[in-house]
Structure 1
Amino acid sequence: MFQAPMYFNGIYHFFYQYNPKGAVWGNIVWAHSISKDMINWQALDHAMSPSKPFDVNGVWSGSATVLPGNKPVILYTGVDANNNQVQNYATPGNASDPYLRTWVKPDNNPLVVATGDINETQFRDPTTAWWSNGYWKMLLGSRRKLRGLVYLYRSKDFIHWVKAQHPLHSAPNTGMWECPDFYPVSLLGKNGLDTSASGENAKYVLKVSLDLTRYDYYTVGKYNVARDRYVPDNTSADGWDGLRYDYGNFYASKTFYDPAKKRRILWGWANESDSVKDDVRKGWAGIQAIPRTVWLDPSGKQLVQWPVEELDSLRGHKVEKNNVKLKKGDHVEVKGITAAQADVEVTFSFRSLDKAEIFDPSWDNAQALCGQKGSKAQGGVGPFGLLTLASKKLEEFTPVFYRVFKAPNKHVVLLCSDATSSSLGDGLYKPPFAGFVYVDLADNKLSLRSLIDHSVVESYGAGGKTCITSRVYPTLAVFENAHLYVFNNGSETITVENLNAWSMKSPRMN
């Protein structure tokens, strides 16, 4: 699980929850890796482990803030001797060490403890702090019964914190809010904003990780600095049916501002949903997804995400396909690349939307709709897309595909990443993941990018408007026995206008 990404003096720091003794929850430390480019990493000694009365039963998630004078500080949740969740801080043991290898937990911890009606066992994950109206401010995730909420705390000196009278925001029937994130996004383009930035040319994003669903949800809205209240725009649901960063295996995410390239970076945990027994057999239980640049869509209603540009440095041999016609039932192999480890960008087009299936208003759950329709069920406009990690005879494959429906006043676009047929292995979690894509089809085109890496298929629909990460474990479609196809199972002929695919090199680790 992720917690405190940070850029400091030319180096990206990656702190994460890690069990050095196995692939199950327990024995958690703050592991620490560093990078110059977020692609090639070096693991350092663990930054923190349980060692003090205020964290003897756990060093849990938190965030990093760089204070004036270029001083980094970590806020984190400790589990104390009474198993209460308390909020602590840590500072570098040697401020002149460019790698920040050691961290000290001062004895004036904890900084914040649960008071009043706060549930001290549901009170965690401090955000990156921001400066406004003469105070440092941070959020903490919690709940009251089934109402999820984020408490706001203020401090003049980063040591003495006082709870605001009201939560920054809450929503009914959402359960515990974990790993909250709160940050401004620019109305003027793709550039990121420092967490303390404000002004009329910014909106705000509040993201929470819902413990009950294990998904990350966000809203876009306005932040009233004077009242310290966040009000979501009425353009998406504020809860379980709301917008997600990613509609697949993606949880406990965190963003940070990268001042070197003036962008906001999103990092998410591609979590697993298999049994403890299967995780032990595999030897891991989740990995980090590729870091993404995130910005506000020109509509102002949602975010857009795209893999960091540094990922392109891993691209190797390239193959191209142009103007390939796919009639109903066609699948054409993309040869000449390492299909088990590839980066694929493709633009599909279609002459007409007349054959689009009628959209039933009851189909409000994209994942259920993907499971119902699938990639094999013939449609009008779609299903069409990619068959990734496919065995030669298609006993195994993970399809990433579009399906277009016709509603009374618009077209509804569904993006699916369906793991149902991904593996002949027994017992593993193989769900159909899906999200709706809010895109203008005036040009009769849809783009798709998929990053394929052995057990991960990470896909970006319509330039990053809808993203889906799937964890899959093929038994046949592995290494050189993995294949990649473009396909169409709709009655409308689809044209692969252009497809660029690259074999991907492995990053340097340590």
Structure 2
Amino acid sequence: MDKNKTQVQNYAIPANLSDPFLQQWIKPDNNPLVVPERSINKTAFRDPTTAWSKDFTHWVKANNPLHSRNGTGNWECLDFYPVSVSGKNGLDTSVMGSNVKHVLKVSLDVTRYEYYTLGTYSLEEDVYIFDEEMVDGWNGLRYDYGNFYASKSFFDPSKNRRILWAWANESDSKADRDNKSWADIQLIPRTIVLDPNGKQLIQWPVVEVETLRRKKVKLSNKMLVKGKKIKIKGITAAQADVEVTFSFNSLDKAEPFDPRWDIYDAQNICSQKGSTVEGGLGPFGLLTLASRNLEEYTPVFFRVFKAQNKHLVLMCSDASRSTLKDGTGAYRPSFAGFVDVDLTGNNLSLRSLIDHSVVESFGAGGKTCITSRVYPTLAIYDNAHLYAFNNGIETVNIDIYAFNNGIETVKIDSLKVWSMNRPEQMNQ
């Protein structure tokens, strides 16, 4: 970027190819490679993605865009790749064919969220057309309904999988950010595949994360009747991997979905219907990074509604109660998204990866994902707890809670929790 804020595309090469860590880089003299034309906003010409290229050096502007959408603001960190219609393997970017759908993902600078559509790519016409049932724009599908941005995916040929890796910015105040020795973090890599229903993607933490698991605690067939509590001990709650499956007898007590609500505004619904607001079927889930007396906690939970002709499952990760620290300048919303899941079996699953200031949650096997950045002041290190409880207001001195604030009895079919090592502790 120059003094006029003109953005261009440059490249760099390793200074020493024999260095296994490639610590030094050089910008060749033939930079920049791509410069914005007059028809392009030169202050918003950044973060491109290369799908395929002849030599990555000589670039020619296409006659027509692959896809465009007015009124969505600056597009960043685009991603475009194929997914298999059948099977769980990832695909190399160049794969085409009748058994393939394509994904177009955009990071929208205006909302700071990521959206994607599924569709068809024509190599001959060099155009992408999204499926009719897809919503293109701010009400579309998201990779993650929380603090998750600027993701990139790549094909891993060693295990035939596509891996997604994203960035999460700090969400505390500017003053706190200025006092840190770092800025923002990379999240846990995820595998990404097409849901068998063909309507969305499914994400899951890469299997390598499981090598960090150590001490394990498990429960099964435990009823979460309102007013009852389940006590679990023996894990490090500030760094944990939790997998839990909840079940319920019926959907009869699901509360009505207010027709005045906007189906696309899950975040606002969650802020109204939080973890302490009693419902019919829910809220039930986990309280992560919680202090002993519940002054601080980040609940991750489900709530089931009855709409006109179907049931709706709301998944929330509410950072609004995550800290006692003055929130001036901080970003602590009630992140939320709806889960497109079949409730025929009367059960819902949840996995949460917890790491001090990050909670990454995967609902219904990865159909809906929510990441929260939080900064507790009491619930840190050995003073952090996970809670499993029936009424989130009452104080209980336990290590883990699962909770149910609804009318319908909920059962924990299976709950498994692992304390997590740091990567450098794996061989210790």
Global fold match (TM > 0.5): yes
1:301 is the counterpart of 2:203: no
1:328 is the counterpart of 2:328: no
The answer for the alignment partner of 2:39 in structure 1 is 117
Letter in 2 for 1:204: H
The answer for the alignment partner of 1:241 in structure 2 is 139
Helix, strand or coil: the match of 1:277? helix
The answer for the alignment partner of 1:161 in structure 2 is 59
Q: Which whole-Å CA distance do the structure 1 matches of 2:243 and 2:104 have between them? A: 30
1:230 is the counterpart of 2:128: yes
Letter in 1 for 2:185: I
Deviations 1:335-369 (A, max 9, x none): 11011110000000001000001112332210000
Letter in 2 for 1:127: T
- Asked whether the 8 Å contact 1:333–1:483 carries over to 2, the reply is no
Q: 1:474-485 to 2 correspondence within 5 Å?
A: 474-484=376-386, 485=401
Q: 1:260-271 to 2 correspondence within 5 Å?
A: 260-271=158-169
Q: 1:352-367 to 2 correspondence within 5 Å?
A: 352-363=250-261, 364=263, 365-367=265-267
Bigger shift: residues 298-307 or 106-115: 106-115
The answer for the alignment partner of 1:100 in structure 2 is 22
- Asked whether the 8 Å contact 1:80–1:86 carries over to 2, the reply is no
Which sections of structure 2, spanning at least 5 residues, go unmatched? 387-400
Shift of 1:290: 0.4
1:505 is the counterpart of 2:405: no
The answer for the alignment partner of 2:83 in structure 1 is 185
Letter in 1 for 2:66: L
What is the TM-score normalised by the length of structure 2? 0.92
1:450 is the counterpart of 2:348: no
Shift of 1:439: 0.4
- Asked whether the 8 Å contact 2:290–2:384 carries over to 1, the reply is yes
- Asked whether the 8 Å contact 2:299–2:317 carries over to 1, the reply is yes
Name whichever structure is richer in strand by fraction.
1
Q: Which whole-Å CA distance do the structure 2 matches of 1:167 and 1:362 have between them? A: 38
Bigger shift: residues 184-193 or 371-380: 184-193
Deviations 1:161-183 (A, max 9, x none): 11111111111211000111111
Question: Using a 3 Å threshold, how does the CA distance of structure 1 residues 410 and 237 change in structure 2: closer, same or farther?
Answer: same
Deviations 1:397-438 (A, max 9, x none): 111000001112211000000111111111232211000000
Letter in 1 for 2:117: T
Q: CA RMSD in A?
A: 1.6
Helix, strand or coil: the match of 1:370? helix
Shift of 1:90: 2.5
Helix, strand or coil: the match of 1:124? coil
Q: Which whole-Å CA distance do the structure 2 matches of 1:508 and 1:423 have between them? A: 29
1:496 is the counterpart of 2:412: yes
Helix, strand or coil: the match of 2:177? helix
Letter in 2 for 1:489: N
- Asked whether the 8 Å contact 2:238–2:380 carries over to 1, the reply is yes
1:460 to 362, 369, 372: 362
2:109 to 191, 194, 211: 211
1:431 is the counterpart of 2:337: no
1:194 is the counterpart of 2:92: yes
The number of residues matched between the two structures is 407
Q: Which whole-Å CA distance do the structure 2 matches of 1:420 and 1:401 have between them? A: 14
Q: Which whole-Å CA distance do the structure 2 matches of 1:432 and 1:502 have between them? A: 26
Shift of 1:96: 4.9
Deviations 1:436-462 (A, max 9, x none): 000000100100000111111110000
Q: Which whole-Å CA distance do the structure 2 matches of 1:103 and 1:251 have between them? A: 26
Question: Using a 3 Å threshold, how does the CA distance of structure 1 residues 331 and 243 change in structure 2: closer, same or farther?
Answer: farther
Shift of 1:478: 1.2
1:413 is the counterpart of 2:313: yes
The answer for the alignment partner of 1:255 in structure 2 is 153
- Asked whether the 8 Å contact 2:284–2:302 carries over to 1, the reply is yes
The answer for the alignment partner of 2:396 in structure 1 is none
Question: Using a 3 Å threshold, how does the CA distance of structure 1 residues 436 and 176 change in structure 2: closer, same or farther?
Answer: same
Which sections of structure 1, spanning at least 5 residues, go unmatched? 1-78, 131-135, 137-155
Shift of 1:98: 4.1
Helix, strand or coil: the match of 1:497? strand
1:377 to 273, 277, 284: 277
Q: Which whole-Å CA distance do the structure 2 matches of 1:189 and 1:248 have between them? A: 28
Q: 1:60-79 to 2 correspondence within 5 Å?
A: 79=1
1:220 is the counterpart of 2:114: no
Q: 1:22-101 to 2 correspondence within 5 Å?
A: 79-80=1-2, 82-101=4-23
Deviations 1:247-304 (A, max 9, x none): 1111111111111111111111111233321212344332111000111111111110
- Asked whether the 8 Å contact 2:51–2:81 carries over to 1, the reply is no
Shift of 1:236: 2.9
Deviations 1:213-269 (A, max 9, x none): 111111111111111111111223211111111111111111111111111111111
Letter in 1 for 2:85: L
Helix, strand or coil: the match of 1:433? strand
Shift of 1:80: 4.0
Shift of 1:82: 4.7
Q: 1:128-139 to 2 correspondence within 5 Å?
A: 128-130=50-52, 136=53
Q: Which whole-Å CA distance do the structure 2 matches of 1:271 and 1:330 have between them? A: 38
- Asked whether the 8 Å contact 1:330–1:488 carries over to 2, the reply is no
Deviations 1:287-334 (A, max 9, x none): 111000111111111110000000001101000011110112444343
Q: Which whole-Å CA distance do the structure 2 matches of 1:128 and 1:333 have between them? A: 51
- Asked whether the 8 Å contact 2:303–2:313 carries over to 1, the reply is yes
Q: Which whole-Å CA distance do the structure 1 matches of 2:342 and 2:194 have between them? A: 16
